[in-house]
Amino acid sequence: MQKTRILIVASLAFLALVLATIYCGAKYLLAPAANAGNEVRFVVSKGQGIAAIGAKLEEAKLIRSKYAFRLYVQLNKLDTKIQAGSFTLSPTQSTPDIAQTLTEGTEDVWITLLEGWRREEIAEYLETIDLSEFDKAKFLELTATSEGYLFPDTYLVPKEITTTALVNLFTTTFEKKLATVGDFTDAEAKRLVILASLVEREARGSEQMRHVAGILENRLKINMALEIDATLQYVRGNVAGEWWAPPRAADKELKSPFNTYRNPGLPPHPIANPGLSALQAVHTPLESDDFFYLHAPTGEIYYAETYESHLVNVARYLQ
């Protein structure tokens, strides 16, 4: 009986020691990583998981343990509350403090410019975002000659970013992306971007884009009119305020240098802002004998070498 009591007491003492060790260990791991240190800007990317965030915090020496961070977040059900964005953190904050800060509203905002938008669409979109210094009229003024050079991408920007800084960000990003495609003279780059803007509006996916780019090159070689509906939409967008309204038969007679039914060759400047895939497609177009293509209601594109074959496709897929 006495041995049983001794065994129970010893077990309880051991359990107390284990619990005390766990408590002290947890307290140490959740404590601030340092007693002093500068504040740093910490970015949580969209879709980044808790494990990756914890590892990044530990690497930045903002927390003592990525495992303790992950466990604390999961136990306190904060994993679904942590936001993507930019935060000011300090190594003098405890892990619970840092975890809570990451749930409380980012200092920056994410903006996403879609491929094929024209600058007016970008301006309308930015006006809906929480950007305290954004001025739509100034943006349109600053980008008057930048159509095609405002790179479509997802950006993390300060809420107080200026309109000028936004334009510089978009155009600088474009220059960096274009450099990954190739090294071009100014004239080559201008031609590439104009063609890419047409391809961006006329095709989807790299395969379609390369095929359409090849067809446009074939037409340009023989001075054949490009006859691109997107250019009609661009002209009407300037007039009607509907940026990409479906083209009408009468639109083919619109008097505009952008009407590629009336004017052979390229339009004067890009009609939209192309993404990287369109730029690459124009740089490496698919070589073929095709001169015609049409979009079926299903989204498929059908190609033809001759006008007669093209008319067969029209009868088969559009009537």
pLDDT classification of 13: cutoffs 50, 70, 90: low
pLDDT at 25 over 80: no
Residue 70 makes CB contacts below 8 A (sequence gap 6+) with 50, 51, 54
Q: What is the pLDDT of residues 270-308, one digit of tens each?
A: 999 999 999 999 999 999 999 999 998 888 899 999 999
pLDDT at 17 over 70: no
| Cα gap 23→20, rounded to integer Å | 5
pLDDT classification of 3: cutoffs 50, 70, 90: low
| Cα gap 295→317, rounded to integer Å | 8
Is residue 295 classed as helix, strand or coil in its secondary structure?
Answer: strand
* Per-residue confidence (pLDDT) for residue 265, from 0 to 100: 95
Structural element, H or E, at residue 108:
strand 108-112
- Listed by start position, the domains of the chain span 31-101, 109-288
Greater confidence (88 vs 177) lies with 177
Query: Average pLDDT, stretch 190-212?
Result: 96
- Distances, alpha carbon 208 to alpha carbons 216, 283, 303, in Å: 12, 14, 10
| Cα gap 146→149, rounded to integer Å | 5
pLDDT classification of 241: cutoffs 50, 70, 90: low
pLDDT at 48 over 60: yes
pLDDT at 88 over 80: yes
* Per-residue confidence (pLDDT) for residue 133, from 0 to 100: 93
* Per-residue confidence (pLDDT) for residue 240, from 0 to 100: 60
* Per-residue confidence (pLDDT) for residue 29, from 0 to 100: 86
CATH number of 31-101: 3.30.1490.480
